[in-house]
Amino acid sequence: MPLDPRIAAIAAATPAQDYTTIQPDALRRYVEDYTPAFERPGPAVATRDLSIPGPASTLFARRYQAHPGQGLPLVLFFHGGGFVTGSVRTTDSICRAIAQEVPAIVVNAEYRLAPEHPFPAAVEDVRAVLAWCHAEAEALGIDPTRIAVMGESAGANLAAVLAHLVRDEGGPALRHQALVYPGPDASRSSPSMEENADGAFLTRESIEFYDRCYVPRVEDRKDPRVSPILYPSFAGLPSATIVTAECDPVRDEGRAYARRLEEAGIDVVLREYAGMPHGFFGMHALVEASEQAIVFVAGRLRGALIG
C-alpha cells in the first residue's frame, strides 16, 4: 500500500534536511518547531514535573495522572528522536492520551542526547530512571509491582533494552513492554531499509546520521544494548506489544524483534499500520491510524497492568 496521501502531502511540504551538514542543535529546534503541526493537544490531565537524579546529571521528567487513586500502575515512557532529538515536550500529547486511556501513572522521562552524550549514556540514564521510580513508588503514587516500559523509535529501543537488563540484573520486574516502531538492529540490513530508504520523515540517510551520532564506534553497534535483537536469549522477558508502520525503513526490524519474542514463548502482539510512516503514532491531527494505534497499545497495557 502506498504512503497515505494526507501524510504524503505534508511530507512533500516539509523542508528536507541535509544530514551531511546539519548540526544537532539545529535539528533539535526543527523537531521542536514542527511537532505541534502534527498533534492535537492531549486531554487535560494532572501533571507534575520531576527532577530525577541520573548517573551524570539531573534528568527532566513529567508525571501524568488522569485517574484518581494511589498505588496505580506505572507506564514509564521514553521519547524518540534517533537518540539526538526529542523531549518531554515532543511527546507530551502521547503521554496525556495514554494516561487518559490507561488507569495508570505515566512518567515521561528524558535522557542525555547524542552526539554530546553517545552510547551508553542513554541506556545508563533510563536504567537510573526506572530504579528511581521504583524506589520512589510511594511518593509517585504507584504500585512497584505493576510497571510497564514504553517508547517510540529510539525510546522503544531503550524500553526493549531495559526489559533485558532488569531480567538479567534482578529487577525491578516489568509487566509489559510497548515498543512503537523500534529499530533494534543497527546493522540496518533488513529489506525495508532499502524498500523505504526515502521514507517520509525518516530516511536511510537520516538513520545513518543518527547512528553516527549515537554509536560513533562502529564495533559498538553489535552490542545488544544498541541492537537488542542480538541478545542471545529472549526467555523470561515481559509480554510485549509492537507497533510497526508499513512505509518505515525500520519496519522489518520490528517484525524480526516480534519473531524473536514469539520464538521464546513470550506473549507478543505485533500490529502493523498500512500506509503509515515512521512517526505516525504522534500524528493525531493528520490520520485516524494514530489514535487507533494509541487505543490499541493502551488496551494491551491495561490488560498487562490491570488484568
Which residues are catalytic, by number?
Answer: 153, 248, 278
Asked if residue 246 lies in contact with residue 7, where contact means CB atoms within 8 angstroms, the answer is no
199 vs 202: CA distance, rounded Å: 5
CA atoms within 13 A on the CB side of 120: 15
Strands ordered across the beta sheet of 268-273: 46-53, 58-65, 105-109, 72-78, 142-152, 176-180, 239-245, 268-273
Asked if residue 51 lies in contact with residue 59, where contact means CB atoms within 8 angstroms, the answer is yes
Contacts of residue 63, Cβ cutoff 8 Å, sequence gap at least 6? 47, 48, 49, 50, 105, 106, 107, 140
Q: Is 85 helix (H, G, I), strand (E, B) or coil?
A: coil
Q: Which of 56-93 are b and which e, b meaning 16 or more Cβ less than 10 Å from the residue's Cβ? A: eeebbbbbbbbeeeeebbbbbbbbbbbbbbbbbbbbbb
304 vs 307: CA distance, rounded Å: 6
Indicate left, alpha or beta for 248 from its phi (over 0: left) and psi (-120 to 50: alpha).
beta
